[in-house]
Structure 1
Amino acid sequence: MCTNLETRHLRGLGRSVSALGAGCWTIGGPATNRGVPIGWDHVDSGRAFAGLLHAHDLGVTLYDTADVYGLGRSERLLGRLLSLVRRSDLVISSKVGYLASAAHPYADGQMRRQLECTLANLGTNYLDVYFFHSTDFGEGDQYLPGAIKQMRALVEHGLVRAVGMRAPHTFALEWATGPSHERCTHEAARFLHLYEEIRPDVLTVRHNLLSPLYTPDETDVFDLAESQGVGVIIKQALGQGVLLGTHCPDRMRAFRQGDHRRQDPMFTPEALHEVHHGLASVREHFGEAVSDLARVALRYALARDPAAPVLVGFRDAEQINTTITSLGEALTTAEITWLHQLLAPLRDAFTARMAKSHAPCPSVRRLPSGMGAPTIKE
């Protein structure tokens, strides 16, 4: 195994991991969950497994999957890798709470049964991090206390090393705890309530070139986590490929039934056209190649928190090679500032577009305890 890949110390878990981790959502292939497309089409399991092997050869030690990714296919592919390598060298995370089942995913005993299935798929007897994948804990959060109790029991029995939780795409502590704010406070207050109840060890959050910036007096997810010794894993640094220029608005792809992009507002012709033209100066300055744009996107994400690893998705060995080997030199402070300023119009347009895809949320100071929320896509 190559050891040249940078490493980071993941707070909350207390383990050193590769700075770039393998996000295994993509390799699960097409899937639907309660009729909703949640997967990726055009995935060949043989080529996907070759990608996993190549990631390991390149020094990747962090692998993130979920029970719902390909309805178990992603976990089973990762299990094939684990059968060939030393388990203790790798950090494996999976998730629970989103997969449709007869009972509510967080109902009494359901998490333990789902974990048993996940461990069987992976061929391991423990997870390094187990994430609450959904914030839907039933009507009035009726399953929340039991879910927390179940998770703590899994930790006590050594089946789980650290507890994970998803953070919202936009968050500032002040939005949830202060007076009515211009920005939407509903999701921020909901997250803070669950965060205080669950007390996770690790958070996962989307952060990329199009993520909103925060003012010096705002405490975002990274600041909150650092202040409390909680780890952060960054996802969607490449914008699901959109930031790599691989989705040309003039040659739109047709996504099949089990591909989540059929319903993702980021993959509409208007959005792709917006991003393509908004990144013109970035391509002109850093280069047109996929590897050039990957370096910018990944280095930008890695610069946010020196302890936070970044997940990259892939379908095959070629894709994982392009991203993992593209890092090069870190971006300078001047380059990051230039990107902040250059992409401000695109960032605002993207934030507005994503906001329109969700129901508007009221401006409230704090949600009543137990108020439910719908499941949110990756």
Structure 2
Amino acid sequence: MTLIDLAPRRLAPGLTVRPLGVSSGTSRWAPTVAQPQDARLLDALRRALDVGDDDAGAQLLDTADSHRCGHAERLVGRVLKECPGHRVQVASKVGRVQGSAPHPYAGPRVRHQLEQTLENLYLDQLAVYTLESYDFGPGDRYLDPVVEQMRALRDLGQIRAIGLRGPGSHASQHTMRRFLDLFDRIRPDVLWTQASGLLPLADLGEDEDLGAFTVRHGVGLVIASPLAHGVLAGGRVDRALAAWPSAAADRGAMAAAATHGLAQLAGMFGSSTQALARVALRSILQRVQNAVLVIGVGDEQQHQYDRGFLGRPLSEEELAAVEEVFARVRRVMFKSEERVPSVEASV
């Protein structure tokens, strides 16, 4: 079994991690609400981090202060505290939660939130700290101070890399221009985005997608939701599509297209959830060879995602066949720009 393509990947200077990591999820429940899924999430985190392979490199764990209003960070911290000497590299985000400040990026808000995040995680340093929102206040009044703070935090060793959220696959031209402007002004070390076979990497024009863009600029790329909220691991299509912010789309047609595509992949590679997930993950890892994928540990279809699970590489013919299936599904699911899930609200 060839595993060369699954060797640890460089995210930033001095930061190399396995190509598959885990995420604490995206649920934004209020902290006062009962948390019936805590036990399952804790168990999933323990299993996901119990890899026992010192030669495989550090594993990336992706979270955010907005995940369940900080509750997810605290759960991650509980698991990390149980494992002294762990080699997990943790990435988190800032820019969504305002707290009592006038703006999520106002004043020393970024530095104060980092201090709270490190306390939640029982860590002295974050691997990546990502600016999650493009809103830096009226006239970008907070942008320069935030960039200064982030660089100071990196210089002090409290974070190893500065992250910036990248555009989604169907971002508007306005969002694309905004991203490119912020990229030039912030000069991040890592970009974070969501993509899968159903929602590919953003096309930045001139035959360059976000993957090629990161290679050209020498920055790392973290891809979340590579299984399309569980759809590509055999999960319930209707439940996953309900999480997509697409008010105009015909969800029945979308679900039918995704189900048909899964059936085609099952005919080629097997119908088990692991077989489907393997194909979905490998198709990205082999096409975007600088990317690190993070899979939500709370998903119903959570497995032990390790090098053995991914098995042999897909052949060029298999990769082409998989992409053809995904392209057909995308054409049915998103017949016009008006029916594409909007990412404007997320950036």
Do the structures match in fold with TM over 0.5?
yes
> What per-residue deviation string (whole Å, max 9, x for no partner) do you get for residues 249-302 of structure 1?
5xx69x9xxxx8285668944422221123321121111111111011110111
Residue number in structure 2 paired with 1:261: 243
User: Corresponding residue for 2:11?
Assistant: 11
Q: 2: CA distance between counterparts of 1:317 and 1:351?
A: 26
Matched, 1:51 2:21: no
Of the three residues 214, 225, 236, the one matched with 2:225 is 236
Paired position in structure 1 for 2:61: 63
Cα pair 2:74 2:121 within 8 Å, conserved: yes
Describe the shift of the 1:187–1:352 C-alpha distance in structure 2 as closer, same or farther (beyond 3 A).
farther
Provide the rounded CA distance (Å) in 2 between the counterparts of 1:354 and 1:42: 37
C-alpha separation in 2, matches of 1:43 and 1:330: 38
State TM-score, norm by structure 2.
Answer: 0.85
Aligned length, in residue pairs: 335
For residues 352 and 122 of structure 1, the distance between their equivalents in structure 2, rounded to whole angstroms, comes to 43
Aligned counterpart in structure 2 of residue 80 of structure 1, from 78, 81, 86:
78
Show structure 2 runs of 5+ residues with no match: none
Residue 276 of structure 1 corresponds to which residue in structure 2?
Answer: 259
Aligned to 2:179: 191
Residue of structure 1 equivalent to 2:91: 93
Structure 1 residue 358 displacement after superposition: 6.2
1:92–1:128 CA contact under 8 A, matched in 2: yes
Q: Secondary structure at the match of 1:344?
A: helix
**Deviation, structure 1 residue 316:** 7.3
Which residue type is aligned with residue 292 of structure 2?
Answer: P
Asked if structure 2 preserves the Cα contact closer than 8 Å seen for 1:18 and 1:62, the reply is yes
Tell me what 1:126 maps to: 125
Give secondary structure in 1 for the equivalent of 2:304: helix
2:250, 2:152 → 1: CA distance?
Answer: 41
Contact 2:28 2:66 in 1 (8 A): no
Shift of 1:350: 3.8
Give the structure 2 partner of residue 209 of structure 1. Answer: 197
CA distance in 1, matches of 2:72, 2:324: 38
Relative contact order (C-alpha < 8 Å, sep 6+): which is higher? 1
Which whole-Å CA distance do the structure 2 matches of 1:8 and 1:47 have between them?
Answer: 28
> Alignment RMSD, CA only?
3.3
What's the counterpart of residue 23 of structure 2?
A: 23
Percent identity reads: 32
- Residues 1-378 of structure 1: matches in 2 within 5 Å? 6-25=6-25, 31=29, 44-58=37-51, 61-86=59-84, 89-102=87-100, 103-170=102-169, 184-212=172-200, 217-249=206-238, 261=243, 268-315=251-298, 319-321=302-304, 326-352=309-335, 356=339, 375-376=345-346
Contact 1:242 1:272 in 2 (8 A): no
1:354: Cα distance to partner? 7.2
Structure 1: how far apart are the matches of 2:86 and 2:195? 29
Amino acid at match of 1:243: L
Query: How far has the Cα of 1:353 moved from its partner?
Result: 6.6
- 2: CA distance between counterparts of 1:215 and 1:357? 17
Residues in 1 aligned to 2:274 and 2:337: alpha-carbon distance in whole angstroms: 27
Per mean C-alpha deviation after superposition, the further-off stretch among 10-19 and 160-169 is 10-19
- CA shift for structure 1 position 220: 1.6
CA contact (8 A) 2:15 2:127 kept: no
Moved more, 227-236 or 264-273: 264-273
SS at match of 2:192: strand
- Counterpart CA distance in 2 for 1:267 and 1:5 is 38
Q: Secondary structure at the match of 1:279?
A: helix
Give the Cα separation in 1 of the matches to 2:182 and 2:339. 24
* CA spacing shift, 1:317–1:80, aligned 2, 3 Å: farther
1:308 deviates by: 1.7
Point out where structure 1 has 5 or more consecutive residues left out of the alignment.
Answer: 34-38, 172-182, 360-372
C-alpha displacement at 1:68, in angstroms? Answer: 0.6
Once the two structures are TM-superposed, the CA of residue 344 in structure 1 deviates from its matched residue by 2.0
For 1:317 and 1:263, the matched residues in 2 are separated by 21
